[in-house]
């Protein structure tokens, strides 16, 4: 299977990716310089765990994804990949959400929602079909037991 190319993506996916990566991401980075953290408030302590988890999750998923023991012929289903099929994308959402809550910024929380919705559209329309094509039934089984974004892993059916 060939790697997914820009020219292979639908118009909708291209628009969504431009919105999330070329508009939302730079805007939030610049906007974040002007946001005061609400240190010592309940909001700061509510948002902080989301941000910390959003920072840690891609590190943990990177260890699973890029380790020497990662299988090349089947999807990675261990580590954080047991609780979400898209830990890198979901961690970005958690970072945005945590910053928005910690700074009491509805604009940042709105950006988090636009970010995750746009990635959801892009993942559903382009990435997952290519993974089904690449890994076949193994990926379909993985999809059946693991939520796309986050959740408790589904248990195996017992006879």
pLDDT digits (tens, 9 = 90+) for 32-51: 778 787 788 999 999 999 99
Q: How confident is the model at residue 124 (pLDDT cuts 50, 70, 90)?
A: confident
Of the candidates 53, 51, 52, 80, which has an alpha carbon nearest to the alpha carbon of residue 65? 80
What are the distances in angstroms from CA 54 to CA 9, 91, 122?
27, 4, 20
**This prediction's pTM:** 0.76
User: How many residues appear in the chain?
Assistant: 159
104: exposed, middle or buried (Cβ count in 10 Å: 0-12, 13-18, 19+): middle
Q: At 29, is the secondary structure helix, strand, or coil?
A: helix
In the predicted structure, residue 130 carries a pLDDT above the cut 60: yes
47 occurs within a structural domain: no
Total count of domains within the chain: 1
27 occurs within a structural domain: yes
In the predicted structure, residue 80 carries a pLDDT above the cut 60: yes
Its domain, for residue 132, covers 10-32+55-145
């Amino acid at each position: 299977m060939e790697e997914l190319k820009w020219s292979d993506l639908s118009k909708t996916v291209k628009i969504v990716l431009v919105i999330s990566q070329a508009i939302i991401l730079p805007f939030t980075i610049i906007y974040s310089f002007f946001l005061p953290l609400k240190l010592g408030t309940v909001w700061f302590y509510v948002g902080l765990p989301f941000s910390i988890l959003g920072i840690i999750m891609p590190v943990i998923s990177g260890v699973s994804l890029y380790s020497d023991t990662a299988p090349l012929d089947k999807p990675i289903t261990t580590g954080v990949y047991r609780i979400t099929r898209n830990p890198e994308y979901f961690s970005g959402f958690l970072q945005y959400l945590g910053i928005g809550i910690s700074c009491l910024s509805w604009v940042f929380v709105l950006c988090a929602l636009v970010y995750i919705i746009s990635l959801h559209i892009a993942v559903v329309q382009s990435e997952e079909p290519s993974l089904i094509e690449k890994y076949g039934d193994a990926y379909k089984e993985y999809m059946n037991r693991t939520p796309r974004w986050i959740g408790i892993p589904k248990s195996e059916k017992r006879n």
